[in-house]
């Protein structure tokens, strides 16, 4: 068996080692962006300030302005246009549409709306350079262009910037007939009667032309721009262009449509305007600005050719730097250059073709000079390869876990159901304690906790403080019941205390939840690893899943808890090693880390003065209570944890395992949170090292590991991530097998079956459940239906709070019956189910983690009240 396992794993390793990232055959690309030319725009000169958008596989370009007769330094006159060009990707060619704009227009905003299969054209100036209130929607019907009027803008605007979130359109500032406008306008095209409305303006921010818009994670961004010279001072005197009476602006802002609040961001490195807009949104946290005009560049050109006002044929073209803004660390860094083989256009819209691909059609490449070029840019990953050596390290580690399972099988540690489910009650207390810690700390948590601290702060560590209450509660009140009854399944307690129905219901809910959990725990870490490395997601799912099945089948719970203990140490050691490496490579070390965390609010910044139950809660009390009731059912009613309590030789040893888990949960979680804060400080000071295409913040830890750790060591830490997944999955596999055989097969289906048959059934359940988890995880990855699967898990997970409430009633409400406990559980479940649908409909904003607290409390209160009512009714009848 061991040889077959090694052969299978070797095949997986070879498969993954040969998976390499591939890119399209593009014209130029040695940096972050691969650049490619599409057929040139069918205009003699090209256009500045056109409208552009994408409908299906077609690119549409409309309007724009140029100097068709002569350049401006030779007295040429600017001409505005009304033509519409359509590029077909299928035919790889342009056509000039017979439909034209109602008037010649340029320098407005165009926004692509995929959900409406349209491009919206807003504002812009006319032939006399006068801003307009134009608003129209362009569609392609059977290849023909149609235009539909929309509600006109509240004021005439040109040279503004804009973005769309869904079908809600936003316009920022711009030029009116006489000056720049300090306005933010919004219109929701999904409304029954769409109308423009004014939204709050960011304080003292100046109005501006040619700013750059952007969007990321549901928020809107505006960068730089320029304004007419103000009589007052500006923050950076070098951003003032005296001869042109212009101030180039470097201030930047973020607007949250959900709260209508503004945030002042880090300034641009220099005053910048007219870059292609919107900024290119890539990954989960980056916005890229492609070139643009800086005041220093203009001053250089003016000094070089004062007689031409800095213009002329010798003009070198506009700056080529691609600037990256990182929304998490609030930093700017140069990430690439527009290659010399392409012109660097300004005053032109950016059209997103897909997630990391953008199109730029025409634009201005020198003052008064346009280009016909059409650029297709593909933002590629700069992540490191995992490599053969790292895979060998992972393989050795995984095979070592199989060897542990094989060792226990040879020792006949899984020769009976008692040994398979309870380890013969000979597991050392410290091993059980490490196993509990590893079981509760999945691979999702191993990556998600650092990612949470990296992206936000340490507030969620408050949730771990709940262990100070949970451990004494379990040791003093629950553990004596479990050990006294000498249970194998936690749900035997419910039958002993109430009735068989309560046992079966609770056990079934536990098993259903863990079927889904196995798939999710396989899928999410594999997804995070594949998003940050070149590890194939299916190879990761197979490697984790198959190895878990093998050693769980062979060794039973004893193999599970011992591998858990090893994996807990690997997890902690890996996290500590990463933290030390970050601090060592941070300029200023621990002092810099503490300073940045304090300045940027990355520590414990919870509000203890109130109770905010919304999804964006910052209330310390709410976080504490939410995690208290989210964790309590696992420690008191979850088979995967309760099973550890009965693997030790005595109740005293079980108590010691829980007391060990207390400091590990507090300090271990603090280590992971601290690592996330350290990663924030590391990339805050070195933003150029980030990968803009990183799709998930959860991938920041594996990304750092491959980027900064030596070969082999990186493999060991990634093995730790595999270990975290395995510890959770193996616990689920064994505990579901235990629950099914003990609560259903041995109690209902075959109560007279021999022990050997029950053991065989348990092993089959492990294999079947593990394979189902692998198939479901692969299916989720292939189809992208995680949202639907999440809904299933949420639905089943809502029932775990009521199950915890049933156990609480059983321990503390002495006269309650099984019917009373089940009634309370049903009401608790229905309440949170109603709240869930209300939240989904947008009727309420409730933090989902509070589901556990609400369902638990409702179950207990309703159960107690119903029990009291029944006793009073019975007393009256007796009277």
Bridge partners, residue 377, by sequence: 35, 358
Q: Which residue has the higher pLDDT, 781 or 823?
A: 823
- Give the pLDDT confidence of 67-94 residue by residue, as tens digits: 999 999 999 999 999 999 999 988 999 9
598, exposed or middle or buried, with CB in 10 Å at 0-12, 13-18, 19+? exposed
According to the model, what pLDDT value does residue 786 have? 52
Give the Cβ contact number of residue 474 at 10 Å. 21
Give CATH 2.120.10.80 domain extents, the chain.
33-379
According to the model, what pLDDT value does residue 552 have? 81
2-11, 468-477, 867-876: which is most confident = 468-477
pLDDT level of residue 505 (50, 70, 90 thresholds) = very high
C-alpha 298/C-alpha 366 separation (Å) is 11
Ranking 219-223, 536-540, 722-726 by mean pLDDT, the lowest is 722-726
Residues 834-862, mean pLDDT to the nearest whole number: 89
Q: Is pLDDT of 472 > 90? A: yes
According to the model, what pLDDT value does residue 151 have? 98
What is the CATH superfamily name and number for domain 390-480+519-580+605-681+697-782?
A: Sodium/glucose cotransporter (1.20.1730.10)
* Closest alpha carbon to 20 in 386, 502, 341, 424: 386
Is the Cα torsion angle 143, 146, 151, 154 positive or negative in sign?
A: positive
Q: Which residue has the higher pLDDT, 453 or 731?
A: 453
C-alpha 92/C-alpha 565 separation (Å) is 60
What is the CATH superfamily name and number for domain 33-379?
A: Kelch-type beta propeller (2.120.10.80)
C-alpha 851/C-alpha 236 separation (Å) is 51
Q: Is pLDDT of 330 > 80? A: yes
C-alpha 109/C-alpha 349 separation (Å) is 8
According to the model, what pLDDT value does residue 527 have? 78
pLDDT level of residue 12 (50, 70, 90 thresholds) = very low
- 763-788 core/surface letters (b: 16 or more CB in 10 A; e: else): bebbeebbeebbebbbebbeeeebee
Average pLDDT, rounded, for the chain: 88
pLDDT level of residue 406 (50, 70, 90 thresholds) = confident
The answer to whether 199 and 148 are in contact (CB under 8 A) is no
As a whole-number percent, the residues of the chain with pLDDT over 90 amount to: 59
* Closest alpha carbon to 739 in 495, 479, 431: 495
686, exposed or middle or buried, with CB in 10 Å at 0-12, 13-18, 19+? middle
According to the model, what pLDDT value does residue 791 have? 55
C-alpha 852/C-alpha 632 separation (Å) is 9
C-alpha 182/C-alpha 174 separation (Å) is 8
Is the Cα torsion angle 501, 505, 510, 511 positive or negative in sign?
A: positive
According to the model, what pLDDT value does residue 697 have? 83
C-alpha 495/C-alpha 739 separation (Å) is 13
Structure-token match 């014209």, residue found: 27
pLDDT level of residue 419 (50, 70, 90 thresholds) = confident
Q: Which residue has the higher pLDDT, 27 or 714?
A: 714
C-alpha 751/C-alpha 130 separation (Å) is 88
Q: Is pLDDT of 871 > 60? A: yes
According to the model, what pLDDT value does residue 3 have? 44
Give the Cβ contact number of residue 714 at 10 Å. 24
Give CATH 1.20.1730.10 domain extents, the chain.
390-480+519-580+605-681+697-782
> How is 667-735 classified by DSSP, letter by letter?
HHHHHHHHHHHHHHHHHHH-GGGS-TT---GGGHHHHHHHHHSPTTHHHHHHHHHHHHHHHHHHHHHHH
Q: Is pLDDT of 29 > 90? A: no
The answer to whether 131 and 156 are in contact (CB under 8 A) is yes
Using a CB cutoff of 8 Å and minimum separation of 24, what contacts does 24-29 make?
A: 24/378, 26/378, 27/341, 28/339, 28/341, 28/342, 29/378, 29/380
């Amino acid at each position: 068996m061991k040889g077959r396992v090694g052969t299978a794993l070797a095949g997986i390793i070879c498969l993954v080692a040969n998976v390499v990232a591939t890119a399209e055959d593009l014209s130029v690309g040695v940096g972050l962006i691969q650049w490619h030319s599409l057929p040139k725009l069918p205009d003699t000169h090209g256009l500045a300030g056109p409208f552009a958008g994408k409908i299906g596989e077609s690119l549409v370009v409309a309007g724009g302005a140029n100097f068709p007769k002569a350049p401006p330094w030779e007295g040429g006159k600017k001409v505005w246009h009304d033509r519409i060009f359509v590029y077909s990707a299928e035919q790889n060619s342009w056509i000039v549409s017979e439909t034209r704009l109602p008037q010649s227009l340029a320098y407005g905003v165009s926004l692509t709306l995929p959900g409406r299969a349209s491009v919206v054209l807003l504002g812009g100036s006319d032939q006399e350079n006068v801003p307009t209130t134009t608003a129209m929607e362009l569609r392609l019907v059977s290849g023909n262009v149609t235009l539909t009027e929309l509600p006109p803008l509240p004021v005439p605007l040109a040279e503004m910037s804009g973005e769309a979130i869904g079908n809600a359109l936003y316009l920022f500032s711009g030029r009116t007939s006489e000056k720049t406008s300090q306005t933010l306008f919004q219109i929701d095209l999904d409304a029954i009667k769409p109308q423009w409305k004014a939204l709050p303006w960011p304080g003292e921010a100046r109005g501006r032309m040619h700013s750059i818009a952007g969007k990321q994670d549901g928020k809107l961004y505006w960068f730089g721009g320029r304004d007419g010279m103000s009589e007052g001072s500006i923050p950076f005197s070098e951003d003032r262009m005296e001869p042109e009476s212009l101030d180039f602006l470097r201030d930047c802002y973020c607007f949250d449509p959900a709260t209508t609040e503004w945030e002042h961001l880090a300034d641009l490195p220099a005053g910048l305007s007219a870059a292609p807009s919107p900024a290119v949104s890539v990954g989960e946290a980056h916005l890229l600005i492609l070139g643009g005009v800086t005041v220093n560049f203009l001053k250089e050109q003016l000094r070089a050719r004062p007689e031409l006002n800095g213009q002329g044929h010798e003009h070198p073209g506009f700056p080529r730097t691609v600037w990256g803004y990182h929304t998490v660390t609030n930093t700017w860094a140069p990430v690439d250059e527009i290659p010399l083989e392409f012109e660097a256009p300004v005053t032109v819209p950016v059209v997103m073709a897909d997630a990391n691909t953008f199109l730029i059609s025409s634009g201005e490449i020198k003052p008064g000079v346009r280009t016909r070029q059409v650029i297709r840019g593909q933002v590629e990953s700069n992540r490191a390869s995992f490599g053969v050596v790292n895979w060998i390290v992972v393989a050795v580690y995984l095979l070592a876990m199989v060897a542990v399972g094989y060792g226990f099988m040879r020792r006949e540690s899984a020769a009976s159901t008692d040994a398979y489910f309870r380890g013969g009650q000979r597991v050392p207390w410290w091993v059980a304690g490490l196993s509990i810690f590893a079981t509760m700390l999945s691979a999702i948590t191993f990556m998600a906790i650092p990612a949470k601290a990296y992206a936000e702060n340490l507030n969620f560590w408050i949730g771990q403080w709940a262990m100070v209450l949970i451990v004494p509660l379990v040791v003093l009140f629950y553990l004596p019941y479990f050990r006294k009854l000498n249970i194998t399944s936690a749900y035997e307690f419910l039958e002993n205390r109430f009735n068989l129905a309560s046992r079966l219901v609770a056990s079934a809910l536990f098993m259903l939840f863990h079927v889904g959990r196995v798939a999710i725990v396989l899928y999410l870490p594999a997804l995070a690893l594949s998003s940050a490395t070149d590890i194939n997601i299916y190879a990761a799912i197979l490697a984790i899943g198959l190895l878990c099945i093998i050693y769980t089948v062979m060794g039973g719970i004893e193999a599970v808890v011992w591998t858990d203990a090893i994996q807990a140490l690997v997890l902690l050691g890996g996290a500590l090693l990463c933290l030390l490496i970050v601090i060592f490579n941070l300029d200023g070390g621990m002092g810099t880390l503490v300073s940045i965390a304090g300045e940027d609010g990355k520590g414990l910044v919870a509000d203890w003065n109130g109770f905010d139950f919304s999804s964006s809660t910052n209330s310390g009390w709410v976080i504490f209570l939410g995690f208290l009731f989210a964790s309590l059912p696992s420690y008191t009613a979850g088979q995967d944890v309760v099973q550890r309590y009965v693997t030790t030789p005595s109740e005293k040893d079980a108590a010691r395992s829980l007391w060990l888990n207390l400091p590990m949960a507090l300090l271990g979680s603090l280590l992971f949170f601290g690592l996330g804060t350290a990663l924030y400080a590391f990339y805050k000071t070195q933003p150029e090292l980030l990968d803009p295409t990183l799709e998930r913040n959860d991938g920041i830890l594996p990304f750092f590991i491959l980027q900064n750790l030596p070969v082999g060591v990186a493999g060991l830490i990634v093995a730790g991530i595999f270990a975290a997944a395995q510890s959770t999955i193996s616990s689920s596999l064994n505990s579901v097998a235990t629950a099914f055989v003990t609560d259903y097969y041995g109690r209902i289906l075959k109560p007279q079956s021999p022990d050997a048959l029950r053991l065989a059934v348990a092993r089959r359940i492990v294999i079947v459940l593990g394979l189902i988890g692998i198939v479901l995880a692969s299916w989720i990855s292939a189809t992208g239906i995680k949202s639907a699967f999440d809904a299933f898990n949420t639905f089943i997970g809502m029932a775990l709070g009521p199950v915890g409430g049933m156990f609480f009633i059983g321990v503390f409400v002495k006269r309650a019956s099984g019917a009373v406990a089940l009634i309370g559980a049903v009401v608790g479940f229905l309440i949170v189910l109603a709240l869930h649908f209300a939240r989904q409909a947008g009727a309420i904003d409730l933090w989902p983690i509070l589901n556990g607290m609400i369902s638990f409390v409702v179950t207990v209160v309703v159960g107690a009240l119903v029990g009291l009512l029944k006793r009073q009714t019975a007393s009256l009848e007796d009277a």
